[in-house]
Amino acid sequence: MALVDSKGRLLGKVSLLDIGAALVILFVLIGIFVFPGASSSVAQIGVPTKPVEVEVVIRTASQNLGTLMKPGDKTNLIIRNEPYGEVTIKSVEKLPENLAIPQPDGKVKAMPDPRPEAGLSSNLLVTLTGKAKITKDGPVLGNKKIKIGTPIEIEGFRYSFSNLNVRDLRILES
């Protein structure tokens, strides 16, 4: 009797293709459970959590800025198109609309914009506060790293501001 017959069976009982498929499945299972690889999660267990402040500049066309956002209000934060949750608005500061005006002596002076259309929009400097995990790569809100330049959105009951970037990030001591 031959070791492999004409139908490709080992000792006439088991197909060589079946043995090959079983070995492939076995190697895949060993690879998954014995060598799982690096975790894809940014967040880590046992990492210290500290309060952070995130500054953004918002260009808005709203005329009713006094009731739009107030310090102490909660707003929803979205980091790289993934919702983080609620953060607190620490401060809202209206930035002046100035123009660079050349002076007769050759110097340049910042003066308020006299044009009537300048009053139709405003720049706001908004400071948000929340708690972030501090990893070796920097602060992590939710499962997203947050750094200067990170694209974010903030959303409240009467507003939704997108295409914002983190202007400043401060890690506060507890």
pLDDT digits (tens, 9 = 90+) for 156-170: 888 889 999 999 999
Same domain, 60 and 97: yes
**Domain-embedded: residue 43:** no
Residue 41 clears pLDDT 80, i.e. is over it: no
Same domain, 95 and 148: yes
pLDDT digit string, tens, across residues 104-125: 999 999 998 888 877 778 888 9
Same domain, 28 and 67: no
Local structure of 20: helix, strand or coil: helix
Note the pLDDT of residue 27.
Answer: 92
CA distance 76 to 40: 25
CA distance 138 to 168: 13
Same domain, 102 and 27: no
Same domain, 144 and 110: yes
Contact predicate 155/75, CB 8 Å: yes
**Domain-embedded: residue 42:** no
Burial 130-156 (b: 16+ CB within 10 A, else e): bebbeeeebbbbbebbbeeebebbbee
Same domain, 31 and 82: no
Containing structural domain, residue 32: 1-37
Q: What is the CA radius of gyration of the chain?
A: 30
How many CA atoms lie less than 13 Å away from 156 in the CB half-sphere?
14
**Domain-embedded: residue 3:** yes
Nearest to 134 by CA among 14, 42, 30: 42
Note the pLDDT of residue 62.
Answer: 66
**Domain-embedded: residue 150:** yes
Same domain, 60 and 137: yes
Note the pLDDT of residue 155.
Answer: 93
Same domain, 22 and 83: no
Same domain, 70 and 155: yes
Percent above pLDDT 70 for the chain? 91
Same domain, 104 and 132: yes
In the chain, the amino acid numbered 133 is K
Same domain, 31 and 66: no
Number of domains in the chain: 2
**Domain-embedded: residue 102:** yes
CA distance 161 to 154: 5
Question: How far is CA 9 from each of CA 1, 14, 17, 74, rounded to the nearest angstrom?
Answer: 12, 5, 9, 70
**Domain-embedded: residue 57:** yes
What confidence tier does 38 reach under pLDDT thresholds 50, 70, 90? low
In the chain, the amino acid numbered 147 is K
Compute the average pLDDT of residues 59-84: 85
CATH number at residue 166: 2.40.30
Contact predicate 132/171, CB 8 Å: yes
Beta carbons within 10 angstroms of residue 99's beta carbon: 13
Which range is least confidently modeled, 7-16, 70-79, 134-143?
A: 7-16
Same domain, 155 and 83: yes
pTM of the model: 0.67
What confidence tier does 141 reach under pLDDT thresholds 50, 70, 90? confident
